[in-house]
Amino acid sequence: MSPNETFLVQVNGRPAEARRGETLLDVCRHAGVDVPTLCHMPGLAPSGACRICVVDVRGRGLVPSCSCPVEPGMSVETNSQSATRARKTIVELLLANHPDDCLYCVRHGECELQDLAQRYGVRERRYVTAKNDDHVDVSSPSLVRDPAKCILCGKCVRVCEEVMGVAAIDFIRRGSHTLVAPAFNRGLNVSTCINCGQCVMVCPTGALREKSHLKEVQSALDDPAITVVVQHAPAVSVSLAEEFGLEPGADVEALMVTALRRLGFARVFDTSFAADLTIMEEASELVSRLKGGGRLPMFTSCSPGWVKFVEQSYPDLMPNLSTCKSPQQMMGAVVKRVWAAREGLDPRQVFSVAIMPCTAKKFEARRPEMGDAHDVPDVDAVLTTRELARLIRLHGLDLARMTPGAPDQPFGERSTAGKMFGGTGGVMEAALRTAHWLVTGREMYHLTIGAVRGLDGIKEARIKLDDVELGVAVVSGLGRARRLLEEIRAGRDDLHFIEVMTCPGGCVGGGGQPLRAEAGAVRGRLESLYRIDRSEPVRLSHRNRQVQELYDEVLGEPLGARSHELLHTGYHGRDGAA
């Protein structure tokens, strides 16, 4: 039999096409038959841990469809009485030690366990056991871990190890005492957790969630003595729509700007402006390293999970990280230390909020390097895309019915290059456009660099800047980054510039994005960024007039003294992180 041979099997009494190597779950789903899953992760090997996907195979009885290979002649019932009864019992057993505090849970209405309890008609507590009393871990600046709500599906453990290559958490102890926790059952803050939040994205319940800054933001908004300034990251405007039932990838920037004003933010700035600023610095740094014999390959530094990953696991490669702050922190520094003075405001009276697709940005904003000499942080609070949606709903605003608004100046103008920071390859494309201009004095003929686009986890290209040929690589998902770093440690030397985004797909796939997004949503968001790049006139960071004005009036020149003070940072090893 050839490996690609197809054959017919029976699913619920109807013929369904199957391919050798597929699982029963694949076959059912291709046939349009929904089988529920909890522990299943598309693209990873099945673990078969939760058993909720059991189906009735004639002659064999109940089998977990996620891990059972399809065979010719099979006849499958997905909703036989024994299958549905088994699923209901599984849900009831999962609920036996669950806290039952759905009304107060952040995932109320967005919880896979709750949905299954509804779907299988669980109406009473049939199994009574002691509730989990493991304490809530609030030690992390980005994430909250609540073992009492954990159903031990293991998806967080797997995404952390198999996709992100971090393995900060694992199952500890056994039997009814099993728990998902960092090494030594200590807090996430002293673990190797990089705060990316991909565990939150796969968690079916409220056991993992972001550390919310909504209260701090609301208090600041309510305080008349405080000026609250907000910036929104490139990926947010192409993702927020999904929280309000609109199509994935719809760009709601203009509506969101109005909503932010209605929420009471005094100024609405665009992080993409700071991304253009980042490109001015980063492209100049790249050119300077190329010409001056600096450490190569240079790594991008805008993804804070990646930065912590290098600090703790590859400290020998820290000099390869660009010293540029991330756009969030550049914007923060410019708002607190340039804009506030211009407006005659004390930086302490300015509250700077960032809307990010990311949980690690909460960690980044708290880094001690990210403030002025008087410990005034450049960014005071970070809201994820999800938290912004909550805030909008809290205020009863209907996003779709907002009158389109324009961002505030001077930090509202952006090029499409800055906007593309929101997806994997975007920083690379933006930086190469500007580096080409810096090196040759001319614009690139083809601004679109197809080789660095798309959702592949690693993309490589050779790019010519006149007589210099650059080797570039674009990586998203730290598991792949780890493999590339190992190659570099082993002596690979044909690369000059590497963009790394912590999350698969880049910020559009970030850990602060809408939960339970439909398949293809990340692609939709990325396509939206490309659409913006196609349809707007200013596609080069160095053509952003407001950025040029900032250099003329305040910063001087890229990599200059004032730039270094405001826009660059340093790194430190984190030996002993477990």
Partner 1 sequence: MSPLVVDILERFPGARRDSLIPILQAVQEQEGFLSQESVLAIGRHLDLPASKVYGVATFYNQFRFTPIGRFHVQVCRGTACHVKGSANVLDAVERDLGVKAGGTTRDGLFSLEVVACIGACGLAPVIAVGGDFHAGVAPRDVPGIFASYRERAKEGGSDAA
Closer CB to partner 1, residue 164 or residue 452? 164
Please report, to the nearest 10 degrees, the dihedral formed by the alpha carbons of residues 273, 275, 280, 286 taken in order: 180
User: Is 68 considered catalytic here?
Assistant: no
Q: How far apart are CA 306 and CA 196, in angstroms?
A: 9
Q: Binding of partner 1 at residue 93 (CB under 8 A)?
A: no
User: Is 369 considered catalytic here?
Assistant: yes
In degrees and rounded to multiples of 5, residue 312 shows phi and psi of -90, -30
Question: Which 519-578 residues touch partner 1, going by CB under 8 A?
Answer: 576, 578
Among 92, 115, 170, 460, binds partner 1 (CB under 8 A): 170
Q: Binding of partner 1 at residue 442 (CB under 8 A)?
A: no
In contact, 233 and 423? CB cutoff 8 Å: no
User: Is 253 considered catalytic here?
Assistant: no
Q: How far apart are CA 193 and CA 22, in angstroms?
A: 34
**Min separation Cβ 209 and partner 1, Å:** 20
Q: Binding of partner 1 at residue 487 (CB under 8 A)?
A: no
Q: Is 170 exposed, middle or buried (0-12, 13-18, 19+ CB in 10 A)?
A: middle
Q: Is 562 exposed, middle or buried (0-12, 13-18, 19+ CB in 10 A)?
A: middle
User: Is 285 considered catalytic here?
Assistant: yes
Among 34, 171, 349, 406, binds partner 1 (CB under 8 A): 171
Closer CB to partner 1, residue 68 or residue 181? 181
**Min separation Cβ 311 and partner 1, Å:** 16
Q: Binding of partner 1 at residue 169 (CB under 8 A)?
A: yes
Q: Binding of partner 1 at residue 183 (CB under 8 A)?
A: yes
In contact, 111 and 105? CB cutoff 8 Å: yes
- Alpha-carbon 120 to chain mean position: 32
Count of CA atoms in the C-beta half-sphere (13 A) of 164: 34
**Kind plus residue range of the DSSP H or E element containing 210:** strand 208-210
**Binding segment (CB under 8 A) for partner 1, from list 174-182, 220-228, 518-526, 537-545:** 174-182
Residues in the chain: 578
Q: Binding of partner 1 at residue 489 (CB under 8 A)?
A: no
Q: Binding of partner 1 at residue 343 (CB under 8 A)?
A: no
User: Is 156 considered catalytic here?
Assistant: no
User: Is 176 considered catalytic here?
Assistant: no
Active-site residue, from 149, 336, 361, 362: 361
Q: Which residue has the tokens 């410990």?
A: 375
Closer CB to partner 1, residue 90 or residue 166? 166
- 6 Cβ partners below 8 Å, 6+ apart? 17, 18, 19, 20
Question: Which 186-215 residues touch partner 1, going by CB under 8 A?
Answer: 191-192
Among 150, 168, 334, 383, binds partner 1 (CB under 8 A): 168
Q: Which residues are catalytic?
A: 282, 285, 302, 322, 361, 364, 369, 507
**Residues making contact with partner 1 (CB under 8 A):** 161, 166-174, 181-185, 191-192, 576, 578
